[in-house]
Amino acid sequence: MKLYCQINREMYQYKSFFDLNQIILSFIVSGAIGLFFGVYPAVKASRLNPVDALRYE
């Protein structure tokens, strides 16, 4: 893997740079999306009557 990175760097003269703020922001955004799409259906399902929910399955 190290050799591949060296060859890639020499061929394309490309330096990857990630700012710490970008990394933190990506974790926050992905966590918020995960929480929303995980909690919202669970709350919606908890409000249903179990018999009615299983009837339409």
The tally of CA atoms less than 13 A away on the side-chain side of residue 43 is 6
pTM (whole model) above 0.75: no
Largest Cα span, the chain: 64
* Confidence label for 51 from pLDDT (cuts 50, 70 and 90): confident
Tokens of 2: 């190290």
The amino acid occupying position 46 is S
Residue labelled with tokens 């999306």: 33
Per the CB < 8 A criterion, the answer to whether 15 and 9 are in contact is yes
pLDDT value of residue 8: 64
* Residue 20 predicted with pLDDT over 70: yes
Backbone angles phi, psi at 47, to 5 degrees: -85, -10
